Structures are given as C-alpha cells and as structure tokens.
A and B are shown apart, each in its own frame.
Chain A
C-alpha cells in the first residue's frame, strides 16, 4: 500500500503491483496504479459467478445491437466495460436489470443468470430483480425531495415504515457512500441543492439502501470534475469488498484503476474479456490493443 501511494506521489505512470519490468516488457503499454481497495491481482477464479451471461443477442426492433455476448462476472469484484460510443456496452449493462424493458420494441435472446437465476425468464419479477441489482446513472438523478427521503425511497417503496429503522439505514448508507459527514446536518433539506459530485454519491447511497447484491454503474463519473471522480473511484474501491460492481466507462484509465476484470466491446461484439492487468498490458486481440493504445475510439 505504501509504495503504491509513493508511486502516485512521484507521478510514476506504471503498474506498481505488476512491477515496472512487466509494464516495460509489454510493448510499452502502461497502466496507472489502482485505487485503494482494488487488488488487480486478485484471483477471481474461485469467486462464484454473480452474473453469467450466455449467448446474449439484443435487438432494437430489427436492428441488432448485441451479438452473441457471453460474459462471467465474479462476485465481489469490479468488472469494467469499455469500448467506443455506440458499441453496446450501456445496452448490455441495462439488460442486467432489465431496464431495457422500458424501451418499447426491444428483444433479447440468450441467457442471463443473476445469482443462478435466468432473469430473461418472463416469470421473473423485475421489481424484485431491480431491488437486488441496483443501478447508478451517468447523470445524477436525485428526486426533488429531501436528502433523507431520497435515500429512504427504496426501503419505503419496499414497505419499510419504521422511522428508526429508516434513520439507521439512511445513516449507514450515507456513510458507505462517503457523504454522511457532509450532509449530516441537513438531511431534511432538498437534495437538489447538493453539488454534482455529492448528488452522484447520494444516488449511490440511495442504491445501497435497497440492499442490492450487484451495482451497475453507467459512466458514473463522466459528468463530474476530477476531484469528485476521484471520490467516486475510491468509493468503488471500498464497495467492491461487499458488492459486485459492473461499471461502464469511456475513460480507460478509470477502467484500469478501479476494475479487476475488463471487457472490451466493439460494434456490439464482446471482443475480449480478461483480468484488467492482462487487458491493459498484453491484450490478445489486435482491436483491443489498438483501442487501449488510442489508435481509434
């Protein structure tokens, strides 16, 4: 941990866990240090699969946007989805809690096992699914209510009425989202008055309040300033000990900093998926390497 911080301070731009020699060995590709809490050398092969997607195809009307995607997400780890705009990574993310159901004329084939159950099954209750698979959006979307009511919304719609239970839950979720110290004195003021970064952390706290197993994040920091982005990334590092996180990001350095596993999407195909260190240092596909080195995208 110490030397990782030292590397950050000295501005060295190579991987610390893997060692400088590894970065040099691999055709000059370099990887920034990971955030605290994300051990990129973590062996996730022993982890059970939180999400197991098999041969998924997705269509908007006649237009196919995802082609035969198969991807395994190990539990209690961070999986980053990267790729150029319009490659289908956000669509893929939204199939994982069936948010695409809200768009008319979509069709999805294949299997998507979440905690062992195929969520494509028509018998699956999307309301229960979304309680277990939370989602954080690119644009923070606080409800025009108080901070307290925002966080308590999920438990309340699930039927929790006890005020003291709600109060405890709101505090613990705000603490987990690293927002408690900033808002503890104004829990009952409007959430719309918070800054952009605070709003996004509020949205994360709100998602945590439904007690999900999996958190999907759709470019959670792309609308934020660098300092707020930093806080969100550190938050992901803290949360991944207890939650399975799937994050879509445009920012490749962010993907390399926060994830254990990286999946590269291109034109609706999953080109490559593997441990983050491997994807960023020695990708097996030429397209991945071109994208990572900035030759396109």
Chain B
C-alpha cells in the first residue's frame, strides 16, 4: 500500500523525459540552433581558407619547381626564382631575433619580476597591447625616420676608407663595406619594433604562469632575486617564452609593408653579402660581416611585386602563387618547431 502510494506520487509530479514540458523543448531547440550556427561559422571560415589555399596551390602548379628556389629574379616568368627573397628573409629574421629576443625577454622580466608597481609601469603594461595593435606600416615610417640617419652616418664613416691604422702599429684592412640604403640592418631594426610588443606580451604571459610559490621558496632558501629569476623562473617559463617568441618572430616573415617603407629592393638579382647557398657560409664566412649593410629583398616583398607585374599572358600569377606556397611552407615549419620545442621542454614542468 505504502509502496504503491510512493510510486503514485513520483510518476506524475517529477519526470525526467523531455516529452511533456513545452518550455524545455523550446530551450533545447534554441540550444541546438545555436550549436549549428556556431558550427556553420567555423566551417564557413574553413571553407574560404580552403578555397584560397587550393587556388594558390592550383596556380602554382607547373611553375613551382626546385629551380624556383635557386633562381634569381628574371623578367622571364619561366625562369624567375625566389632565391634573393629566401636569403633576404633568412637574414632579416635572424637579425630581428638577435635584437628582439634579448630586449623583449629582458623587458618582460623587468616588468613582471623586478619593477615595483607604480604608475609608469602600469602605463607601460597597458600600452604594450596597444603597441601590438599598431599597423606595421607605422613602424615602417618610424624605421625610415629613426634608422635611416644611422645609415647615412655609417656611409659617411666608411666611405672610401677600407683600412684603419691601429695606434700607429699596424693597419687593419676592413672589409669592403659598402653601406646601402634599405639594408638588412635597418630592416631588422624596423622589424624588431614590429614584433617587440608581441614578444614582450608572450614572455610576460609565460612568466606570469610560473607559480609564485616557486619564487617565494627560492627566496626563502637564501637565493637572491637574480638567482631566483635565472635558476627557477626563467627555466620554468622557457617553454612559453620560446613558443611565443618563435610565433611572433614568424610574423616578421610575412610583413611587407614596413620593408617597402624603408625602401628595400623589389627587384633583386643578388643576395645579401653575395651568399647564395649554405655552402658559401662555410667557404666564405667573412662575407657574413657585410650582410647587415647590404641591400636585400624579402619573400613577401617579392610576392607583392610579382602580383602586380604587368604581363600580357598573366604568367606572373603563377610565380606569385609559387612564392606564397614557399612562404607558407616556411611559416608552417617554424610553427611546427615552436610546437615541438613546447612539447619537449614542458615535460616535467607540471605544477
């Protein structure tokens, strides 16, 4: 009797099947619609990307060959290659890394670990993300006005004097340094301005992710601030820092605007320092010294130039498409490196 009464109360009052209630059906329907709208957005974006990539790859077919990588610029689309752009981008990114990693990581360590929380520091922290959002062409203008005078000064310094006398004892023959306008050094300094805000922000995030208990424990063991940062905080933040840094520097590879602004070559038939193959780095290493002061072009600049090249048969489209494919492959390789570094160094760093 009591059992029957119990089941009688339970069944009409509480039901977990979604049949009866109309509100719950409407809510569930809304939820379903929302899910499909989101799904459509995602797949729509992916579809556009796929179309773009396929059309580029399609256009590059027949033109992209090993020869494309080792040939210089040519008016003949069939013989035109990206060699100067590849080397130009290589040196540009290398020098940009040399400038932006120490400055960027150093600033992040200062802002996160050492700086006292005052108005100036807070203003800097807030404005870093604003700086990261500044269009790169603006940095190009900055590079043109700030770094070009340096080139002029160097040109004056080295003009016609290829040897200097060291304290009247012996003469050192300097390299035949010719300082060009729009050289790799100015390009890298400008590009460092472009990537520095993102390098700093990425490093800050990585440093902030290190639990403060580690710092406190280290300080409590009689370590100085510097020892704590160098032996505990930076090793723990290194996976994050390196990934962030690699990703932001890979951004420098795709930028054309600031380089156009400082006046790099668009049509180049020579590589910086005259180095055209990795082998020459070994056989003629002194040439590397003249690289920073040499003219150069970069992959995105070349691609831009090809895409607006007047050609009756439109044959440069295939060249530009091939250039894009090379650029994308290099970018993907760099991002993959970042992922591998993260996976390798993050092992054993679980809190």
Contacts and interface: CB of A to CB of B under 8 A. Distances in A.
Interface stretch (B3-11, B12-20, B190-198, B209-217): B209-217
A30 interface: no
Interface in B49-103: none
B232 interface: yes
Interface in B192-229: 211, 213-214, 216-224, 227
A102 B221 contact: no
A135 B227 CA distance: 18
B219 A157 contact: no
B117 interface: yes
A104 B350 CA distance: 29
Contacts of B162: none
B116 interface: yes
B349 interface: yes
A97 B217 CA distance: 12
Contact of B223 (A104, A134, A157): A157
B236 interface: yes
A104 B217 contact: no
A241 interface: no
A157 B211 CA distance: 20
Contact of B213 (A139, A154, A207): A139
Given A104-B116, A143-B214, A144-B236, A192 B220 contact: no
A280 interface: no
Nearest to A130: B222
Contacts of A192: 348, 350
Contact of A141 (B216, B223, B224, B227): B216
Given A104-B116, A143-B232, A97 B220 contact: yes
A158 interface: yes
B25 interface: no
Given A143-B232, A144-B348, A153 B223 contact: yes
Contacts of B348: 144, 190, 192
Contacts of A35: none
Interface residues of A, number: 25
Contacts of B349: 144
A131 B219 CA distance: 9
B308 interface: no
Contacts of B221: 130-131, 134, 153-154, 157, 206-207, 210
Q: How big is the B interface, by class?
A: 20 to 34
A141 B214 CA distance: 6
Contacts of B218: 143, 153, 157
Given A104-B117, A144-B236, A192-B350, A99 B231 contact: no
Given A104-B116, A157-B224, A192-B350, A141 B217 contact: yes
Nearest to B212: A102
A128 interface: yes
A253 B147 CA distance: 71
Contacts of B214: 141, 143-144
Contact of A127 (B222, B235, B236, B351): B222
A134 to B, nearest CB: 7
Contacts of A210: 221-222
B71 to A, nearest CB: 50
Contacts of B213: 137, 139, 141
Best-buried of A128, A143, A190 by chain B (most CB within 10 Å) = A143
Interface string A82-104: 00000000000000010100101
Contact of B219 (A99, A143, A158): A99
A276 to B, nearest CB: 26
Best-buried of B211, B217, B348, B350 by chain A (most CB within 10 Å) = B217
A203 interface: yes
Nearest to A211: B222
Interface string A175-194: 00000000000000010100
A223 to B, nearest CB: 12
Interface string B316-351: 000000000000000000000000000000001111
B135 to A, nearest CB: 37
A148 to B, nearest CB: 14
Contacts of B117: 104
Given A104-B117, A143-B232, A99 B216 contact: yes
A206 B214 CA distance: 13
A15 to B, nearest CB: 35
Contacts of A143: 214, 217-218, 232
B217 A137 contact: yes
Best-buried of B220, B235, B350 by chain A (most CB within 10 Å) = B220
12 contacts: A97-B220, A104-B117, A127-B222, A135-B220, A141-B216, A141-B217, A143-B217, A144-B349, A153-B231, A154-B222, A157-B221, A203-B217
Given A127-B223, A154-B222, 18 more contacts: A99-B216, A102-B216, A104-B116, A128-B222, A134-B220, A137-B216, A143-B214, A144-B214, A144-B235, A144-B236, A144-B350, A153-B218, A153-B231, A154-B223, A190-B348, A192-B348, A206-B221, A210-B222
Interface of A: 97, 99, 102, 104, 127-128, 130-131, 134-135, 137, 139, 141, 143-144, 153-154, 157-158, 190, 192, 203, 206-207, 210
Which 10 A-B residue pairs are closest in the complex by CB-CB distance?
A: A131-B222, A141-B217, A157-B223, A154-B221, A141-B213, A135-B220, A157-B227, A130-B222, A190-B348, A144-B349
